[in-house]
Structure 1
Amino acid sequence: MQILIVDDEYLEIDQLCHLINKRYSAWTVFRSEDIANSIQIASSHTLDLAILDIALSGESGLDLADELLNIHPSMSILIVSAYQNFKFAKRALQMRAIDYIVKPVIESEFYASIDKIANKNQSHPSYLSSILKEAIHYIDLNFRENIHLNDVAEYVHVTPNYLSKKFQNELHVSYKEYLIKARINAAKKLLLECPDYSIQMIANQVGFYSQNHFTNSFKKYEAQTPTQFKNEERGYHA
């Protein structure tokens, strides 16, 4: 994997590099202390992950994240910041950052976030066909939108019927089931990280345009309602 660490304090970069090399010594790490150099690196290399500070010598790491995602839409973002600010965390989550870590960095917390990326990078088994991997990649990027089997099939240049059989034969689920599960997984993250969001708001953000459809689908796959899931995971019991 190739990752970019951006912080205007070189000692902070040193610490993060040390932690990454300790566990993932085969990863390639690029360092940068400003936005312009970061964009230059991203334009010249394929990046899987960017670890960004928010305050970059008067510039915004969140704005940089937007720029980087325009270059590499499938890359992951991890925010590491001294700011314990809900507005910053909310915006980071909206751009699909995998986590928001508050400095000083705690080693176990950092590894918990980084391991998500390592696992995600290995999440599509090698036995899957290249067509299905491309289809999954498209769904993972666009499940929040009103996408259909025809859209995905067009993206991977096959017929909808052929792609439907690929899902059944290789993953043993239908296209629709895979899409719903992707949306539910994203909803579970929002339920825990944004407790002030209403169920309707979460449903809309992950691609369900009906709260009833969201609740019924969630209950089908998780055996509980979204509210029950949130209360249970956060330790609230009625």
Structure 2
Amino acid sequence: MPLKLLIVEDEAPILRGLLRKIKQFHTPFTDIAGASSAAEALETLRQHGADLVMTDINMPEINGLELIQTAKSEGLCSRFIILSGYDDFSYARDALRLQVIDYLLKPIDDDQLEELLTRLGQAALSEQEKHEAEEQEQEAFTEGADHDYVEKPEASRQILDFIEANYVRDLSLTSVAEHVGLHPNYVSHLFKKETGMNVLAYIQQLRVIKAKELLISRPSLPLSEVAMQTGFESQRHFFKVFKKHTNMTPRQFGDAQLPTKRDNH
């Protein structure tokens, strides 16, 4: 996919010179276009996008900084170089706020410009390749997950059985996935599809249920022991999770069971 560079300059001779010069450079940018105003540049960006915009800062009606701000807010481009004939710190400061990559003073040094465009072009290509690889990986995973889902209907039951038998241990998505011999991403996808919950949320909910059972069946058991026997990493963590699920502390829950137990005798 060709890399696009848009040069924005309101002085026609300078724009023509920049276009001619940059097209002769050996950089990764192969689609190089020009715009003679910020309004024209925005229209070009909305229609065709760009991987990098190099813009003059001092232009009538809409200046370079306003162009960058608008382009960023609309998601039209994320890389910008500013060209300026003024060594004015206020311009540079505003450019920094907009996270502009570089601020070049006219007249521009050809070697410096070619080196900068080469570096930015290579970075853009790497980012493009990384994005494409991530998309392909996600696509392959989705296809693989759907295929495996048909082939491994017993996987969900294996996962649930393993969690039920080992909830006291320090379980993680990775350890569950290793037990059933599947990729963690697939386990997460499958488990959510089957239960409507992610693995860690299910483990947490199961521990709270087991803690409730202990609080009812063994009311004299210290809360630190209840936490340990139900897989919580600490008594403090146990209190926090239990209250989140029940709107009561473990002690309040235990006390609430006492009248019911008396009524049963």
Structure 1 length normalisation: TM-score?
0.51
1:59 Cα deviation from its structure 2 partner? 3.2
Match among 39, 44, 47 for residue 42 of structure 2:
39
Match among 14, 17, 28 for residue 15 of structure 1:
17
Identity score, percent: 21
Match among 27, 40, 43 for residue 30 of structure 2:
27
Distance 1:56 1:133, change over 3 A: farther
Distance, in Å, in 1 between the alignment partners of 2:122 and 2:46 is 25
Q: 1:63-212 residue pairs with structure 2 within 5 A?
A: 63-72=66-75, 74-124=77-127, 126=129, 129-131=133-135, 162=185
Residues 8 and 55, structure 2, Cα contact 8 Å, conserved in 1: yes
Q: 1:48-63 residue pairs with structure 2 within 5 A?
A: 48-63=51-66
Identify the residue that residue 5 of structure 1 maps to in structure 2.
Answer: 7
CA RMSD of aligned residues (A): 2.7
Residues 15 and 34, structure 2, Cα contact 8 Å, conserved in 1: yes
Residues 82 and 103, structure 2, Cα contact 8 Å, conserved in 1: yes
The CA deviation string for residues 13-63 of structure 1, in whole angstroms up to 9 with x for no partner, is: 112212221124861122111122111111101211111001112531100
Q: More deviation in 117-126 or 58-67?
A: 117-126
Distance, in Å, in 1 between the alignment partners of 2:127 and 2:46 is 26
1:125 Cα deviation from its structure 2 partner? 8.0
**Structure showing greater Rg:** 2
One-letter code aligned to 2:133: S
Distance 1:126 1:18, change over 3 A: same
Mark the runs of 5 or more structure 1 residues left unpaired by the alignment. 135-160, 164-238
Residues 39 and 68, structure 1, Cα contact 8 Å, conserved in 2: yes
One-letter code aligned to 2:100: A
Mark the runs of 5 or more structure 2 residues left unpaired by the alignment. 139-183, 187-265
Distance, in Å, in 2 between the alignment partners of 1:54 and 1:132 is 39
Distance 1:63 1:133, change over 3 A: farther
Identify the residue that residue 252 of structure 2 maps to in structure 1.
Answer: none
Structure 2 length normalisation: TM-score?
0.46
How many residues end up aligned between the 2 structures?
A: 137
1:11 Cα deviation from its structure 2 partner? 1.2
One-letter code aligned to 1:4: L
Distance, in Å, in 1 between the alignment partners of 2:113 and 2:129 is 28
One-letter code aligned to 1:65: I
One-letter code aligned to 1:54: I
One-letter code aligned to 1:46: G
Greater helix fraction, Structure 1 or Structure 2: 2
Distance, in Å, in 1 between the alignment partners of 2:94 and 2:85 is 16
Distance, in Å, in 1 between the alignment partners of 2:71 and 2:118 is 21
